[in-house]
Amino acid sequence: MDRALSLLAAFDAGHRSLTLGELSRRSGIPPSSALRLANRLTAWGALERGDDGRFSVGLRLWEVASLAPRGQGLRQVAMPFMGDLAEVTRQHVLLAVREGDEAVLVERLSSHHAMPVLYRVGGRLPLHSTGVGLVLLAFADPAFQDEVLARPLVHEPEKVPVAPDALRRTLAEVRRQGMATVRRASPAPLVTVAAPIFGAEHRVVAALSVVVPRGGAEPRQLGPAVRTAARSISRMLGAH
């Protein structure tokens, strides 16, 4: 059964459809077994098979996955507020949660004429070099923070090493301000403002951010807007 899961894990952003052979090789399962498993997954709807014989992830799986509280569930309550932010900023609005030592992008609203796109919905972001990541890290369990800080880290697109002390100060600052502000030059000069979203028991369950081009209109107003939206979402989630 783990083998069935490893078949699913064989798919990634760059490989959304696979032949049986690829499926077999990428999952490390002999072709005959891979076929048997894939057929059963297809019968259930977890996989689909195109006219060309290629396998891809099935809609049925997408349906049950849409019941994930931290995925669609979170998105559902956040969406209207994200929509408001998107309409005002006309750039990118991001919603992410922490999964292990990375952030997973749960939703991204991007205007038609927004900056070049950085991350994909359903994809992962580094915790230490993105706005939402810094927020999630800053408000995470201290033990987990130490664990991350102990690792060698590099800023993501540029591959510049991260100084642990500097990161630690950044995290403290994020906690103090209740938001993170990040300026980068990665694809284009941009500034990100991110704020935490609280669930029950005052735990941070997600992070919300806007990404706008540097030099764009409002530098200072962004903070309050994002924090307000984040608080509204928190309230909907039952934060005390």
Partner DNA sequence: AGGGGCCTGCCATTGAACGGCACGCGGTCT
Partner DNA sequence: AGACCGCGTGCCGTTCAATGGCAGGCCCCT
**Residues interacting with its own copies, by CB under 8 A?**
1-2, 4-5, 8-9, 11-13, 16-17, 37, 40-41, 44-46, 48, 56-73, 76, 79-80, 83-84, 86-87, 97, 99, 104, 109-112, 120-122, 124
CB 35 within 8 Å of CB 27: no
Q: Does 10 bind DNA (CB under 7 A)?
A: no
User: In angstroms, rounded to a whole number, what is the distance separating the alpha carbons of residues 168 and 145?
Assistant: 9
Q: Which residue has the tokens 């209109």?
A: 217
Strands 17-18, 124-126: pairing kind: unpaired
Q: What angle do CA 78, 81, 85 make, to 5 degrees?
A: 125
Q: What single-letter amino acid sits at 189? A: P
Look at residue 33 and give the partner it binds from its own copies, DNA, none, a contact being a CB closer than 5 to 8 Å depending on partner kind. DNA
| Distance from the Cα of residue 178 to its chain's centroid | 20
Q: Which of 30, 80, 224, 238 contacts DNA by CB under 7 A? A: 30
Based on CB atoms, which residue is closest to its own copies, 3 or 169? 3
Based on CB atoms, which residue is closest to DNA, 29 or 93? 29
Task: Using the rule CB under 7 A, give the single segment among 7-15, 31-39, 86-94, 106-114 that binds DNA.
Answer: 31-39
Look at residue 30 and give the partner it binds from DNA, its own copies, none, a contact being a CB closer than 5 to 8 Å depending on partner kind. DNA
Q: Which residue has the tokens 């900023």?
A: 89
Based on CB atoms, which residue is closest to DNA, 54 or 124? 54
- Residues 39-58 as x/- pattern, contact with DNA by CB under 7 A: --------------x-----
Q: What single-letter amino acid sits at 10? A: A
Look at residue 19 and give the partner it binds from DNA, its own copies, none, a contact being a CB closer than 5 to 8 Å depending on partner kind. DNA
Sheet holding 180-184, edge to edge: 124-126, 102-110, 92-99, 204-213, 190-198, 180-184
Q: Which residues in the 48-107 window bind DNA by CB under 7 A?
A: 53
